[in-house]
């Protein structure tokens, strides 16, 4: 069973597709954790958060048929465990978090973001956690906190991380990200997708080029086609290939977005399923710390 967590601060983009959906599409059992509490420090519109959560689940359902989904917000025990873990971490080490660097205006929620992530991992009790390359430092944080728990309370917790080092670069030669606003929704219409692809400029750096972007999404060897045609023709062909690749998935996505009641039932089932697991871990921790 593989556990995947995703922030609900926006719609899923092609970077999410190459880093989360594509690598695990052939795995049989998956659990999806929607980190809606994490997204509160990025998005203050509660209406947008609700739309984002439904759109993320609908997008996943268009690629995976029967999976378990769980909302972070529905279980307050995570916050209880989060508070315990903050008591085990030295404030002087916060400066090493990548979210602190180059940020002058930060909320306390953003500073504590990685520690909340550790409490998510502890509460969900999964042997395998799937993470992106930029989350490696959080893996080290998990190990440090669990090591302290073992030292003071003789509590042993084993978890294995699967790190995906695939990075998708956008038109500005930076990693595609919602926070950098250089992303595009997977199921965008033809015009939006065309405008996005037109922003790519010709470059000899293969790693950060439109060629690399299209090869990662389409999973095709387009090198010969790239050099045999001019750049304008290449853009048109890539636009068509990407759009029609996700066209059928887009229909499934739109059908699910119309069935809000069906999505709510699915979410309730996932929340009930995870509540039992989280409460079991909570009792173990409570017994050890004697609170």
Rg for the chain, CA atoms, rounded: 21
pLDDT in the model for residue 97: 60
What distance lies between CA 250 and its chain's CA centroid? Answer: 20
The listed CATH number (3.40.50.1820, 3.40.50.620, 3.40.50.2300, 1.20.1630.10) that belongs to domain 2-168+260-289: 3.40.50.620
Mean pLDDT of 66-91: 75
Can you give the residue ranges of every domain in the chain?
2-168+260-289, 190-245
152-186 tens-digit pLDDT: 766 667 777 777 777 888 888 888 888 788 999 99
Task: Pick the closest to residue 281 from 88, 86, 87, 121 (CA basis).
Answer: 121
183-220 tens-digit pLDDT: 999 999 999 999 999 998 877 666 668 888 888 888 87
**Tokens at residue 163, please?**
């790190």
pLDDT at 130 over 80: no
pTM of the model: 0.82
CA distance 291 to 269: 30
Bigger pLDDT: 200 or 90? 200
CA distance 68 to 32: 6
């Amino acid at each position: 069973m593989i556990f995947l967590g995703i922030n609900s601060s926006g719609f899923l983009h092609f970077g999410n597709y190459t880093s989360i959906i594509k690598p695990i599409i052939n795995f049989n059992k998956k659990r999806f954790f929607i980190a809606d509490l994490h997204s509160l420090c990025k998005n203050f519109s509660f209406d947008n958060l609700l739309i984002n959560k439904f759109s993320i689940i609908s997008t996943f359902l268009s690629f995976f048929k029967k999976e378990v989904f769980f909302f972070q917000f529905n279980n307050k025990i995570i916050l209880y465990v989060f508070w315990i873990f903050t008591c085990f971490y030295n404030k002087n080490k916060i400066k090493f978090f990548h979210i602190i660097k180059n940020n002058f205006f930060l909320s306390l929620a953003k500073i504590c973001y990685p520690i909340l992530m550790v409490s998510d991992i502890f509460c969900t009790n999964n042997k395998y956690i799937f993470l992106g390359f930029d989350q490696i430092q959080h893996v080290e944080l998990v190990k440090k906190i669990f090591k302290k728990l073992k030292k003071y309370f003789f509590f042993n917790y084993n978890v294995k991380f699967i790190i995906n080092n695939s990075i998708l670069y956008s038109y500005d030669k930076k990693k595609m990200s919602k926070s950098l606003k250089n992303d595009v929704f997977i199921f965008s219409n033809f015009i939006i997708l065309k405008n996005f692809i037109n922003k790519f400029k010709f470059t000899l750096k293969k790693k950060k080029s439109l060629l690399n972007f299209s090869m990662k999404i389409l999973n095709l060897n387009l090198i010969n086609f790239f050099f045999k045609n001019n750049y304008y023709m290449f853009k048109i062909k890539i636009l068509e290939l990407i759009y029609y690749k996700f066209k059928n998935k887009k229909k499934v996505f739109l059908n699910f977005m119309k069935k809000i009641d069906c999505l709510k039932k699915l979410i309730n089932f996932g929340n009930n399923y995870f509540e039992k697991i989280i409460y079991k871990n909570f009792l173990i921790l409570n017994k050890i710390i004697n609170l």
